[in-house]
Structure 1
Amino acid sequence: MNAHPPTEAQDRPARLTVGVVGAGRVGPALAASLQLAGHRPVAVSGVSDASVRRAAELLPDVPLVTPAEVLARAELVLLTVPDDALAGLVSGLAETGAVRPGQLLVHTSGRFGTAVLDPATRAGALPLALHPAMTFTGTSVDVQRLAGCSFGVTAPEELRMAAEALVIEMGGEPEWIAESDRPLYHAALAIGANHLVTLVAQSLELLRDVGVQAPDRMLGPLLGAALDNALRSGDAALTGPVARGDAGTVAAHVAELRRHAPQNVAGYLAMARATADRALAHGLLKPELAEDLLGVLAGSAPDSSTAPDSPSGPGPNGPGPDSPGQDGPGEDSPDQDGRGPDAFGNGPEGDER
């Protein structure tokens, strides 16, 4: 449910003509959402065949034109290109005189605030940074997912109400992020969303390798519970062999990964070290058990794939007390940018998010 009250008429943007520069996964969805709020998409630019298809699906009958023509037709322009292309695009548009005074220029990059729009601001544009914390598919489902989605918002103080109103009209929830905090904010989302996809994909592959017929069905309830527990309880939700200090079990994991999936070893060790640090800091991992565990993670312990199971780990009679089978689990767009995070994530396609 949207926690914000309806915007007052004086705070609500007038019905605007909307243009999209970069018909990747994000731009057409945001424009379609604004259309539902009464704004009118009038122009879109795109490079690839996939972009043309997305624009046709989400913004039917909206003409495909050049970026300069988008700015010529629209009062509100969404710049939905990859982060590394944004500064060059803005500079080029400003230098060629495409930017018009009073035009709302909105980018959707998580990394940048409004400073990246400075060349256009000097030309009279009104700069907004509205980053949806959501992974995008490039289909109509994205419009529905914007309901309740948080947006990282950065804007000049005089445009604050307009920025909030646009986000709320798209069904989102504005969260104000300081200009200097944008890179850290974006890093946080990438850790949670992009890395989650990598971890899940690795788990799926390993389960297939051991013959699990429906790894997605096996992981779904476990990961759903783990995510829910983590969002509710933070570090208190940690379970599994690292949090318990089961050095023998962790050594066996590492040995098996080295044999069967060596490409996953570095990631396992890095995440296990981070988990151990957090478990220690929050009193979940007993200090007397941490030394052997950290030795395994540092590579100082011998291959113990045949070592006996620790008392609290899996034994001959089944899972231990904290195994996933008992009391809990042991993360485009996001990808907001359609690259897989950035969201946070999926993969760059030409110059579009």
Structure 2
Amino acid sequence: MGQTVNLIGAGHVGRVLGKLLAAQGFRIQRVLTRSPASAQHAVDFIGAGSVATAYDQLQPAAIHVLAVGDDQIVPASEALARAVPLHGSIVFHCSGALASDRLQAARDAGALVASVHPIRSFADPAAVVAQFSGTFCGIEGDEGALAVLTPALQAIGAQPVTINAAAKTVYHAAAVFASNYLVTVLDAALRAYQAAGIPEPVARQLAQPLASESMANVFRLGAAAALSGPIARGDLATVARQQAAVSAWDEETGALYRSLIAPTTDLARRKQQK
């Protein structure tokens, strides 16, 4: 596509986006990170661009990517606005938790702003580059910025999904529920099996088909239709006995069990209404 790109911050996400954009004809100009060594590492990984050690070494560009930590987005936007003419350019950050309004300094300087959040793990950048096709990206921001970024993301294999900027934190929490907290609930299941005298390796074998089949049913049928168990059957006496037994065994796990009763009861109501 030929547009010029500056990359500010080049951790795993920045490096992956830089390499994918370069492969599609975007011209990576400068890579600015906290140290020249990390910037050079990113340039080597991307196979394009040159190292910058300060904002005043950046050149004007069509697109500026702020692949920095959440706490650095506002300072980076302000520093970029002081150092480079931004009128008519696009500035976007990659945070899943913060909206594009954190780039107000760039907007005030004449840029169109947006956020682009690739929804996947970036633990292995080389593997992500090879397997990026189909990756969903939550996007929001100025209409003019999204008009340019949407086809650019599609060109690198992404599936852009427009999100409500006002609900950005809730959007990010969705990933926590689907990933982090799911692990926490499964840990509670494994520990409860062990409390019943089942060795941990066997507990994992017992829990795996239940967890795998439940997840498969959620994604195939929807959450309400996938719900089973005592609450779905209306067996509240069993729920009460389990609540008491789990709390007696482990108070914190009992509190977790109790906190899940109300939302699961609501889910069961939705199942009955279908």
TM-score interval w.r.t. the shorter chain?
Answer: 0.7 to 0.9
| Structure 2 unaligned regions, length at least 5 | none
For residues 103 and 202 of structure 1, do their structure 2 counterparts lie closer, same or farther at Cα, with a shift above 3 Å needed? farther
- Aligned identity (percent) is 28
Structure having the larger proportion of residues in helix: 2
Q: 1:3 is matched with which residue?
A: none
Report the Cα distance in structure 1 between the residues aligned to 2:89 and 2:101, rounded to whole angstroms. Answer: 16
Q: Find out whether 1:81 has 2:91 as its counterpart.
A: no
For residues 195 and 255 of structure 1, do their structure 2 counterparts lie closer, same or farther at Cα, with a shift above 3 Å needed? same
Q: Deviations over 1:65-88 (max 9, x none)?
A: 446267437543221233343223
Q: Deviations over 1:146-199 (max 9, x none)?
A: 321222222323333312112102211122224334344334343333322332
Q: How far 1:233 moved relative to its partner?
A: 2.0
Aligned letter for 1:32? K
For residues 157 and 27 of structure 1, do their structure 2 counterparts lie closer, same or farther at Cα, with a shift above 3 Å needed? same
What is the correspondence of 1:1-353 to structure 2 with a 5 Å cutoff? 14-47=1-34, 55=42, 58-59=45-46, 65-66=52-53, 68=55, 71-72=58-59, 75-94=62-81, 96-98=82-84, 100-207=86-193, 210-213=198-201, 216-234=204-222, 235-283=224-272
Q: Deviations over 1:108-135 (max 9, x none)?
A: 2234443222211222323222122223
Tell me the SS of whatever aligns to 1:140: helix
TM-score normalised per structure 2:
0.79
| Structure 1 unaligned regions, length at least 5 | 1-13, 285-353
How many residue pairs match? The answer is: 270
Structure having the larger proportion of residues in strand: 2
Report the Cα distance in structure 2 between the residues aligned to 1:204 and 1:55, rounded to whole angstroms. Answer: 41
Q: Quick check: 251-260 or 230-239, which moved more?
A: 251-260
Aligned letter for 1:38? G
TM-score normalised per structure 1:
0.63
For residues 195 and 42 of structure 1, do their structure 2 counterparts lie closer, same or farther at Cα, with a shift above 3 Å needed? farther
Cα root mean square deviation, aligned: 3.5
Aligned letter for 2:232? A
- Kindly indicate whether the alpha-carbon contact (under 8 Å) linking 2:66 and 2:94 is maintained by their aligned counterparts in 1: yes
Q: How far 1:230 moved relative to its partner?
A: 1.0
For residues 56 and 91 of structure 1, do their structure 2 counterparts lie closer, same or farther at Cα, with a shift above 3 Å needed? closer
Q: How far 1:204 moved relative to its partner?
A: 4.4
Q: Deviations over 1:219-264 (max 9, x none)?
A: 4443332222112222111012222233344344434433444332
For residues 260 and 27 of structure 1, do their structure 2 counterparts lie closer, same or farther at Cα, with a shift above 3 Å needed? farther
For residues 105 and 274 of structure 1, do their structure 2 counterparts lie closer, same or farther at Cα, with a shift above 3 Å needed? same
For residues 178 and 247 of structure 1, do their structure 2 counterparts lie closer, same or farther at Cα, with a shift above 3 Å needed? closer
